[in-house]
Structure 1
Amino acid sequence: MAQVELPRLTEGYLGPQAKFYSYGLTTLSHPEPVIHSDTNQVEIVIGTTEKTRFTTKLLGVDPKGECNQFVLTQVQGSEFHFTIAVPRTGFFKFQIYALPNSEAGPNMINVYNYLLNIQKVDRYVEAFPKQYPLWKQEGCFLYEPLMLMKGIKEPSVKFRMLVPKAVDVQLKVHEDWIKMDQVEPDIYEAYVDFSAGYPAGAKVKLNVKSGRSHKFDTLLEYTI
């Protein structure tokens, strides 16, 4: 690949930051902090050695601006999976923040910074569903759909998710409630008919009732 000129960054910005190794974190998918990608969807996986909270920021370089709606954070055991899907080419800064559950304090610390060079758009992208704090804390995983198209009118869209510790899992599509069926341990599925059309801006929410709560908590929220 021809040499690519990288944007100017602060010295020490790229790669692991001060607490990355002491927090027991490892790069499982991309050990180098600069990622040149010929697709506009990239999955970055970080390994943990203890229960850890994460948050992220995705920043466009030119034009500048936050693009956090294009990041999906999921948990598989001791691994955090960050799926990034952006609608355009260019450079993006991906900043990862973390705090082990064993450490007190509300503020997570910047532990790793990537620079993404997206060279080609090869798939259609909408914003990922909004992820509420419980989604990450409970170790949930979204198999499908990763995103919903604006104005969707498909007659049978499959929803499949891993939701630990749940006693009742339901989708609320605008004003309609649809119960999800448990098909395997902690895995729930449902099919949603969008063919009649829902109003622009309608929400599709994943609502979960756990054994410790008598009310539903929202874990995910799509906008269609």
Structure 2
Amino acid sequence: MPTIPPMPKLPLGFLGPQAKFKTFKLDIFSHTNSIIRLFNGNQVTIRIGYTYPTLMDFELQNADTGRDGSKYVYKEIDEDEQVVKFNITLPRKGSWKFMIFAQPVHDEAGGSGLENVYNYLLLCARISKKAKPYPRQSKEWREGFALRSPTDIGPDKAGTEVSFSLTIPNASGVSVVIDQEWTELERMSSQSNEWSGKVFLHKRYFGYGEKVSVNVRFQENCPSYATVLEYTI
């Protein structure tokens, strides 16, 4: 059996629920032990339940080097079950800190921002699947949003046309932006929440950390767009 990495040094009280976890009426739907030992692979899904609409964000960080690995986490929101799923594929063996942040939607206007509510330690002994970076989801990525494609934009997409397909409720416009070039996606029908379109990604975009963002306008005739997804290519 693969050897689990040793426990790193962590601040007292770092692991488990933090001060606002119960205040925000959150619950653990998957891993009640804040130390998750991964003997046979580098993938895990952590499920956090909520009582009322809640914004959630996260950070994944190597406990030994401080290296950020948040791009290897994909967040899904299940409205029916009232649960947020964090799908994690660790990029390498070792010890990883996974930190969850939250803020009730009704506190968004006057609150102090997202608060750290729960922390895990992931101890990975073996890599079973190569990690590919997911697009980074902003706090504007909310209930009912869904991404079908693309889940990643790798070097194989250079010089090709890439299909974007998303569900974005209550949007009046959705665009893909790269190097200040905007491509508007099309709504499938006048009452649909489905948006899709194709974007050509020039080879010159790749290899320099260029960003590809999905931006959403929520009010008709409003010039303001919110970034909901961001790919790094």
Once the two structures are superposed, what CA deviation does each residue of 1:172-213 show, in whole Å capped at 9, x if it has no partner? 34436152443794232334454x634334432212222355
Alignment partners' CA distance in 2, 1:164 and 1:117: 37
TM-score in terms of structure 1 length? 0.80
Q: For 1:170 and 1:176, locate their aligned partners in 2 and report how far apart those are by CA, in whole Å.
A: 6
Contact 1:74 1:139 in 2 (8 A): no
Tell me the CA shift for residue 41 of structure 1: 3.4
The DSSP-based 3-state class of the residue aligned with 2:45 is: strand
Matched residues, number: 222
Counterpart for residue 82 of structure 1: 86
Match of residue 93, structure 1, among 93, 97, 104: 97
Query: Counterpart of 1:72?
Result: 74
RMSD: 2.9
Paired-residue identity, %? 31
For residue 211 of structure 1, give the secondary structure of its aligned residue in structure 2: coil
Amino acid at match of 1:152: K
Change (3 A) 1:168 1:127: same
After superposition, give the CA deviation of every residue in 1:1-33 in whole Å (9 maximum; x if it has no partner). 677443333443322223322321111232222
Find the counterpart in structure 2 of residue 207 from structure 1: 215
- Distance in 2, matches of 1:112 and 1:70, equals 19
State the distance in 2 between where 1:2 and 1:11 align. Answer: 28
- CA separation of 1:120/1:192 partners in 2, compared to 1, >3 Å: closer, same or farther? farther
Matched ranges for 1:90-169 at <5 A: 90-103=94-107, 104-136=110-142, 139-150=144-155, 152-153=157-158, 155=160, 157-169=162-174
Q: Secondary structure at the match of 2:131?
A: coil
Q: Secondary structure at the match of 1:161?
A: strand
> Cα distance 1:213–1:26, how it changes in 2: closer, same or farther (>3 A)?
farther
Long gaps (5+) in structure 1: none
Which residue, 39, 47, 60 being the options, matches 1:45? 47
